[in-house]
Amino acid sequence: TTADIGLIGLAVMGSNLALNIAEKGYTIAVNNRSPARIDEFVTMAKEQGLAGKVIPKADLAEFVQAVSRPRSIIIMVKAGAPVDAMIEQLLPHLEQGDAIIECGNSLFTDTQRRFDYLKPKGIGYLGAGVSGGEEGARHGPSIMVGGSKEQWHNAEDVLTAIAAKFNGESCCAYLGEGGAGHFVKTIHNGIEYGDMQMIAEVYGVMRDGLGMAPQACADVFKEWNRGPLNSYLIEITGHVLAAIDEPTGKPLVELILDKAGQKGTGVWSAIAAQQMGVPATAIEGAVAARSISSRKDERIAAEKIYGKRSAGKADVTLADLEQALLAGKIVSYAQGFAVIAKASDENGWKLPLSTIAKIWRAGCIIRSRFLDQMAAAYAKGDNANLLIVPDFVTLMKENHGALRKVVAAGAVGEFPLICLSAALSYFDSYRQAQGTANLIQGQRDFFGAHGFEIEGRGKDLHGEWPSTLGN
């Protein structure tokens, strides 16, 4: 028998994806650098009654031979150099028309480079972003595919079968050429950073401004999960806040050190946005907040200098916080989707914004009811900034007042709201017909003769600035 598909890299993600594929009835050949992992995987497959669908091959040549042509071979190894090493090892064994499907968290420019490298060799290259962690990989992730369209069709059935479903629709789609899939996955993660940070900021107001204990906060998140904020992240936030540390009997969240880790996709999102000149201040704020969080020693020292902030009573209600979170979320998604739209234009990817919102509705970390509304709004046609899409205009009109109130309370009460305040400032900048860059242009012309424009009189005009300044 030959396998429908092959998979290399049987660590957490690869083994769960492979089990998922086998469970959907496909025969899968598997390989891993260290053979011990192959044995462990076979044991796992046996325990789950799936061994009959698995062809384990420790030898790479035999592994490739076991996959039916044209071959689709998933690689799920550590991102970075191991992916390039794996491609080089595979190449001598592949034949024209075969394809590599790389499913790790790769930098989209690396994916683009690998796609360009393999194209003239007649080997297809698909870069697929997979979200949903271990559980998602096993039972249904969101899969964002980019790369060789022709070879996508060879793997389409398998990938759409293993992905999460939302109202019966698969959360897997081909999005565009080259690095498009990994680019979209990167921005997914950037948006995820923003969602998480805004939730953490609201938790901060509850804890320090409203004096709420973790269990009381947990109850609020549980309640919010039944409303417009309904989402995986709001749901798990409730569980995290409710958890009790067994040995001490204390709320676990109060024992966890306030230093956040990051693996790079938030930074990549912010860099991509900056490089294309698209403001993504909510994502940038979220990345900055994680960086500040990691500098615990500096924060302790600074608190000694400035004093502990007064544990004031924030002049906000829980309803204000819920609405502020919704408004902040709309701004953050507006920014993330604007970054995707610009990247699509620059790279000729023709990224379908509606489809992207659709395949994020289930399986991935940012899955939510909200994304269903977004998918519906974008399905109506243009790829405009979400802030001017009619349904979301209504929502913003209803909720930006609360965002304003919460950000103001944060400023007065000394609660840092990096992400929520960035979202509010972006909204206020975006919606003002008359800004203040006229002054910037004056300054630039003063010191650098960069020129400015006056309507009706033309561009590249200069001011008669004083040539010497008094002291």
Q: Is 82 in the site for ligand NDP (CB under 6 A)?
A: yes
Closer CB to ligand NDP, residue 41 or residue 221?
Answer: 41
Closer CB to ligand NDP, residue 76 or residue 280?
Answer: 76
Q: Is 236 in the site for ligand NDP (CB under 6 A)?
A: no
Positive/negative CA dihedral, 382, 385, 390, 392: positive
Closer CB to ligand NDP, residue 129 or residue 285?
Answer: 129
Q: Which listed range, 130-138, 162-170, 229-237, 330-338, lies at the site for ligand NDP (CB under 6 A)?
A: 130-138
Closer CB to ligand NDP, residue 106 or residue 281?
Answer: 106
Interaction with ligand NDP in 420-439: which residues (CB under 6 A)?
A: none
Q: What is the 3-state secondary structure (H, E, C) of 382-441?
A: CCCCHHHCHHHHHHHHHHHHHHHHHHHHHHHHCCCCHHHHHHHHHHHHHCCCCCCHHHHH
Q: How far is residue 92 from each of residues 98, 111, 343, measured CA to CA in Å?
A: 12, 20, 34
CA dihedral 322, 327, 330, 333 (to 10 degrees): -80
CA dist 32 and 57 (Å) reads 8
Q: Is 9 in the site for ligand NDP (CB under 6 A)?
A: yes
Binding-site member from 62, 95, 116, 134 for ligand NDP (CB under 6 A): 134
Q: What is the 3-state secondary structure (H, E, C) of 148-169?
A: CHHHHHHHHHHHHHHCCEECCE
Q: Is 34 in the site for ligand NDP (CB under 6 A)?
A: yes
Q: How far is residue 111 from each of residues 118, 155, 339, measured CA to CA in Å?
A: 11, 18, 18
Q: Is 118 in the site for ligand NDP (CB under 6 A)?
A: no
**Minimum distance of ligand NDP from residue 132's CB (angstroms):** 7
Residue nearest to ligand NDP (CB): 104
Nearest to 82 by CA among 114, 59, 129, 122: 114
Q: Which listed range, 71-79, 150-158, 327-335, 427-435, lies at the site for ligand NDP (CB under 6 A)?
A: 71-79
Closer CB to ligand NDP, residue 133 or residue 451?
Answer: 133
- Residue in the structure block whose two tokens are 């969240």: 253
Q: Is 189 in the site for ligand NDP (CB under 6 A)?
A: no
CA dist 209 and 320 (Å) reads 13
Contact present, 126 and 148 (Cβ < 8 Å): yes
**Minimum distance of ligand NDP from residue 356's CB (angstroms):** 17
**Minimum distance of ligand NDP from residue 134's CB (angstroms):** 5
Would you name the residues annotated as active-site residues?
Answer: 185, 192
In the complex, the residues that contact ligand NDP under the rule CB under 6 A are 9-14, 32-34, 37, 76-79, 82, 85-86, 104-105, 130, 133-134
